[in-house]
Amino acid sequence: MAKCMCCGKGVTFGNNVSHSNRKTSRTWKANIRKVSAVVDDTHKTVTVCSRCLRAGKVERA
């Protein structure tokens, strides 16, 4: 599942809007990384967005 374990960030939906103002649906995908991290004193592979990684919300193994 493409969702951040820390903040819950995932896929968002919206519209492409052309010059003639036609709308077609599109998606934005979060920058999700699989990272080996320390969770409850054990090493686990978790999915975390790059913003949470840079902010230091996850302690890497």
Position with higher pLDDT, 4 vs 61: 4
Residue 14 dihedral angles phi and psi, to the nearest 5°: -165, -155
pLDDT tens-digit profile of 13-48?
Answer: 999 999 999 999 999 999 999 999 999 999 999 999
Confidence (pTM): 0.77
| CA–CA distance, 27 with 29 (Å, rounded to integer) | 6
Instruction: Please give the mean pLDDT across all residues of the chain.
Output: 95
Over 80: is that where the pLDDT of 1 sits? no
What pLDDT score was predicted for residue 26? 98
